[in-house]
Chain A
């Protein structure tokens, strides 16, 4: 199984800050990685597929980069609605696996 490791597990930030979250796969997955945002009590929502492809309706302040084993999600200027937990997921093969999550909290 492909293990996904996210860091940090939490980050404290202020509105307007640049926030970067990293995700590492235990083996190469090319660009087959997705990012999700989850707010408390809500279902996850997809932000990015194929490592850097922004899904429809997702603000351009979100961006993804990486390939192989190392990936990043960057929020260029944090907005109040961005405080949430973010998960990466390898989309390469079954069993599908998620990173442990990164909670973006108010500083």
Chain B
């Protein structure tokens, strides 16, 4: 059974930093691209970052580019999101989600599994 467990959320003042983790199990982690998708309270879904299975290709939404960094540790079946210079508008539930890259290509880019999410609140 696929399991994704996000941790690291919490309450942080504007300008602060936070590191989220997502621990994966139940599938061949090395064959999947990993993503972070967030959802502000009462709002819709926003994709923010992707890292390919090998860890050498990363993409970011403009809203977080230059402030957030995605990384992964395939030996620990984990993906991380380092969030710096946090703003009030970064307040959201952060989900990690998988994209299947087992066929060699990750295309098409749909999310086949999701974690339960971790809440990040940026406020003074």
Tell me if B's interface is mostly helix, strand, loop or mixed.
loop
Closest to A9 in B: B44
The interface residues of chain A lying within 8 Å CB-to-CB of B46 are: 98
B28: interface (CB < 8 Å): no
Among B44, B50, B95, B115, contact of A100 (Cβ-Cβ < 8 Å): B44
Chain A 1-43 near chain B by CB (<8 Å), digits 1 or 0: 0000000000000000000000000000000101010100011
| CB pair B108 A43 closer than 8 Å | no
Residue from B60, B62, B110, B112 whose CB has the most chain A CB atoms within 10 Å: B110
Interface size on B, residues (CB 8 A): 21
List of B residues within 8 angstroms of A46 by Cβ:
110-112
Evaluate whether A94 and B115 lie within 8 angstroms (CB atoms) in the complex, with A34-B110, A87-B44, A87-B45 already known: no
Using a Cβ–Cβ cut-off of 8 Å, how many residues does chain A contribute to the interface with B? 25
Give the Cβ gap from B123 to chain A, nearest Cβ, in Å.
Answer: 21
Closest residue on chain B to residue A93 by CB atoms: B109
CB-nearest residue of chain B relative to A100?
B44
CB–CB B109/A95 < 8 A: no
User: What B residues does A32 contact at CB under 8 A?
Assistant: 108
- Asked if A91 contacts B109 (CB within 8 A), the reply is yes
Kindly report which residue of chain B lies nearest to residue A97, judged by CB atoms: B47
| Known A32-B108, A91-B108, A100-B44; 6 more pairs at CB < 8 Å | A46-B110, A89-B47, A89-B111, A91-B110, A94-B50, A94-B59
